[in-house]
Amino acid sequence: MRARVVTPPQPVVTWEEARAHLRLDGDDEQLLVEAMIAAATGHIDGPEGWLGRAIGVQTIEARFDCFEGCGNSLRLPFPPLIDLVSVKYLDGACGEQTADLEDFELFGDRIMPVTDVWAWVGCAVRPDAIRIRYRAGYVVDAESDPLVAKLPASIRAAILLMTGDLYANRETVMIGASASAVPMSTTVESLLAPYRVFS
């Protein structure tokens, strides 16, 4: 299985929140701080993130080997899952086929056919034969989309703490470096640990 982000998320921590957290006056450093927020969030979010889950609402495409679907269900990575966008697969001639979304249901992090009739039969024998797009992540404001879980306060706090660490240590941490260079204190790891997903 491999996954990629099709539609990236909007920031889950705003400039205004970070400015208050950092006790900044004015907007002189807004671009710098927003880059730090993006680096901190990118370090933990999505397919490349430390948490192994989606933070901001995003569309992800997961591709599976047809043999992974032999049991008629597949585990979709990077929760929390919101809804399905599309289910496609390559047939025996490697032509892309689109399945009807009404034939499938989400049960937690698993996609399953509504009846036992549908199966991944006839898929091409390729590592990317099954292609499932879905929305995953948390909303900042629960009233904006009642289907989506609200961003946990500890994840928001961890992003703000990481942003603060980057801001305080600008000379030792390069902005624009890879997300693996973002510092994570023991406090940040403790805040995030309950949400970490291990494959």
Gyration radius of the chain's alpha carbons: 19
Closest-CA residue to 1 (of 78, 68, 64, 76): 64
- Mean pLDDT (whole number) for 77-94: 90
- Mean pLDDT (whole number) for 74-86: 93
- Mean pLDDT (whole number) for 69-81: 82
Q: What confidence tens digit (pLDDT) does each residue in 128-167 have?
A: 888 999 999 998 776 666 667 889 999 999 999 999 999 9
> Average pLDDT of the chain?
86
- At 19, is the pLDDT very low, low, confident or very high (cuts 50, 70, 90)? very high
For residue 117, what pLDDT is reported?
Answer: 53
- At 173, is the pLDDT very low, low, confident or very high (cuts 50, 70, 90)? very low
pLDDT of 123 above 70: yes
The pTM (predicted TM-score) of the whole model is 0.84
- At 113, is the pLDDT very low, low, confident or very high (cuts 50, 70, 90)? confident
Residue 26's region, left for phi above 0, alpha for psi from -120 to 50, else beta, is left
- At 190, is the pLDDT very low, low, confident or very high (cuts 50, 70, 90)? very high
Could you give the CA distance from residue 158 to residue 154 in angstroms, rounded to a whole number? Answer: 6
- At 9, is the pLDDT very low, low, confident or very high (cuts 50, 70, 90)? very high
- Mean pLDDT (whole number) for 18-26: 94
Which is higher by pLDDT, 71 or 41?
Answer: 41
Helices (H) and strands (E) in the chain, counts: 4, 8
Residue 43 has, within 13 A of its CA and on its CB side, a CA count of 27
For residue 40, what pLDDT is reported?
Answer: 94
CA separation (Å) from 192 to 20, 46, 56, 158?
22, 14, 15, 7
Joined together, the tokens standing for residue 40 give 């901190």
Q: Alpha-carbon dihedral of residues 20, 25, 27, 33, nearest 10 degrees?
A: -50
Note whether 129 and 91 are within 8 A (CB).
Answer: no
**Residue entry with tokens 């904006």:** 144
191 in helix, strand or coil? helix
